Amino acid sequence: MSRIVVVDIEAGYGSVRVLHGVSVQVDSGETVALLGTNGNGKSTLINCIMGIVEPTAGSITLETDDGESIDLVGRTPQEIVELGISLVPEGRRLFPLLTVEENLMLGAYRKSARQRIAANLEFSFEAFPVLGERRRQLAGSMSGGEQQMLAIARALMSEPRVLLVDEPSVGLAPILVSRVIAKIRELKAERNLTVLMAEQNFNQAIKIADRGYIIVHGDIAFSASSAAELSENEMVKQYYLGV
Amino acid sequence: MRIDAFHVTALAIALLGAAVTIFDLIPVNKFYFFAGYVVLQYVVLATAWNIMGGYMGYVNFGTAGFFAVGAYTSVVLYNLMKAPLILMIPVSGAVCALLGLGMGYLTLRLRGVFFAIATLAMAIVLETLIVNWDYVGGATGAYILRSREIAPFGDYVEFLFFVMLVLAIFAVTVARWIERSKMGRGFAAIRDDEVAAECTGVPTLRLKLVATTVSGFLMGVAGAPFVLYVGFVEPSSAFNLVYAVNSIAMPMIGGATTWLGPLIGALLLGTVQQVATVTISSELNLLIVGGLLVFFVIAAPEGIVGLVRKWRGRGR
């Protein structure tokens, strides 16, 4: 278990600034929702933590239980996976021409997880029986919901301590969104995960979040210390929940 | 590595090749060995290209550059110490492996068409360097006087044919092993979605460097005996764009995702080209390649291997 502390990061693409000093903290064992509509910087923040986008200012630190503080800025995604952080990317980003099983095996590159590939595969197929039935099928030929399940299972193959989930609801039918969200909650408990989930589907995200941040135009507009506080906030009600 | 039917077949072909060339089992015109050498050389080049282009999706337009550096390494070794072929092959391979590693480092951030352009540019830069290097003959080229005969093969061309056969078997074996290893899965992940591969912890950087190095090694090895084969090498023949075009076309026609693809493509296209050279004209080669490529891209985008798989799938 470990926690992630993001302090005042700024980031962008080329001359476009997306994040203007964002601070976020995800404590050990929490599920934190990162909420906001399209284009406000949720994915950029997730990508900064994962090492895909390098922030131009600010710090991102992983604090482990042994009291170690590891600076994540400037590290490659592989190093970050090695440290026990794993990403379920937006739009799933599976390897469409590889089979379900091959996709899962590719999630197990982390050194510490290599010995337990068989056990972790077993776990994936137990958690998502549909993946077990289709282990030899090409990932690209599955339905959106199944692909999302596979993306989550693949991320868990590296036995992460922290799971970053970027917009799991994208492109899924509402019933599947509920199922995916419920599954994340279930897996979180089962594997003692710390979860940071970016989502624009407020109703769904609030169901499993312990806390949440609302990100607007690259700034944290509101930080809620409980799910209740999030759903009762006037701004949230007005703009995002439509009540 | 497990020994299976593939390895037994490969060994059998090598032994058969040795028997045929040593004991002149099949009394054929020497030209067949001369032409067969070129076909086998393309098996090596196409297989080498496919490790990067087919497995990993990085299109290398610089095959001619690697091939020529392999050939010219042999020239340097010959000029320095009259080195034998058995030494030329590993050294040329090593030099091109280093070249591949260097190219990998310099082009790490380039993808798609930009990577292809960079590799093409590299070949041109190398050609310019060779043209201006007098030690290896510069623009006028270099001769190597080879012996006419060599024991126990008799004719030297038969010997070269056998050497290239062994190299082709070696290249295909390496490609097949990579394809089935964990590394091959990593290559495929890079081909499908590089960012996703990176995020799942696939060491994309390391794998890319391994691919450029191995691919470069095999291309260099294919170029090493070239000077002995033709007896004379000049930049415009060693750096001929035909090598780049063929080594891309052959895997495409055969099927780029498996080791069998470049093998089939090279045997087929290489043979057609040799036949056309003799019967029609040597200038027609590229036209044939172009025509076949257009046909296959439209009719069988996954090559012959893909086509066969599709038919089989229907049969079931």
List the domain boundaries for chain B.
Answer: 5-240
Per-residue pLDDT at B152: 84
Residue B306 predicted with pLDDT over 80:
yes
Q: Pick the range with the lowest mean pLDDT from A38-52, B118-132, B289-303.
A: B289-303
Binding-face residues of A in 52-91 toward B, CB within 8 A: 52, 76-78, 81-82, 86-87, 89
Which of B189, B191, B199 shows the shortest C-beta gap to A89?
A: B199
Of A36-40, A107-111, B42-46, B116-120, give the lowest mean pLDDT range: A36-40
Amino acid at B274: Q
Q: Is the pLDDT of residue B1 over 70?
A: no
Q: What is the pLDDT of residues A211-239, one digit of tens each?
A: 999 999 999 989 989 888 888 888 777 77
Pick from A52, A81, A96: CB nearest B200: A81
Complex ipTM value: 0.81
Averaged pLDDT, B203-226: 96
- The beta-carbon neighbor of B198 closest among A77, A94, A102 is A77
A94 near B CB under 8 A? yes
Mean pLDDT of all residues in chain B? 92
pLDDT digits (tens, 9 = 90+) for A7-52: 999 999 989 999 999 999 999 999 999 998 888 999 999 999 999 9
B248 Cβ contact partners less than 8 Å away, ≥ 6 residues apart: B49, B53, B59, B61, B63
Residue from B200, B204, B209 to probe the interface with A (highest A Cβ count within 10 Å): B200
Phi (first) and psi of residue A33, to 5 degrees: -95, 140
Cβ of B200 within 8 Å of Cβ of A98? The answer is: no
**Cβ contact (<8 Å) for B196 and A93?**
yes
Of B188, B195, B202, the CB nearest to A109: B202
What does the pLDDT average to over B141-167? 90
**CA nearest neighbour of B110 among B194, B45, B170, B196:** B194
Residues of chain B neighbouring A78 (CB-CB closer than 8 A): 198, 201-205
Q: B202 — phi, psi (to 5°)?
A: -65, 125
Residue B299, SS3?
helix
Q: How high is the pLDDT of residue A37?
A: 86
- pLDDT at B316 > cutoff 50: no
Burial of B242 (0-12, 13-18, 19+ CB in 10 A): middle
Residues of chain B contacting residue A91, judged by C-beta atoms under 8 Å apart: none
Note the residue count of chain B: 316
CB atoms within 10 A of CB B177: 14
Q: Which CATH class is domain A2-241?
A: alpha beta
How many Cα atoms are found within 13 Å in the side-chain-facing hemisphere of B203?
A: 12
- CB contacts of A124 in chain B (<8 Å) are none
User: Which chain B residues contact residue A95 at CB under 8 A?
Assistant: 188-189, 192-193, 196-197
Token pair 């050497």 is found at B163
Sign of the torsion formed by the C-alpha atoms of B307, B310, B314 and B315:
positive
Per-residue pLDDT at A242: 63
Beta strands in chain A (DSSP E): 2-13, 16-26, 31-35, 57-64, 69-71, 85-88, 162-166, 194-199, 211-216, 219-224
Distance CA B217, CA B66 (A): 8
- B235 pLDDT higher than 90: yes
* CB pairs < 8 Å spanning A and B: 71
On the question of pLDDT at B142 being above 60, the answer is yes
Which of A47, A95, A137 should we substitute to test contact with B (largest number of B Cβ atoms within 10 Å)? A95
The alpha-helical segments, DSSP class H, found in B200-284 are 204-223, 226-230, 235-238, 241-254, 260-279
Closest of A181, A89, A95, A186 to residue A142, by C-alpha: A95
Which of A46, A49, A42, A30 is closest to A185 using CA atoms? Answer: A30
Q: How far apart are CA A198 and CA A180, in angstroms?
A: 14
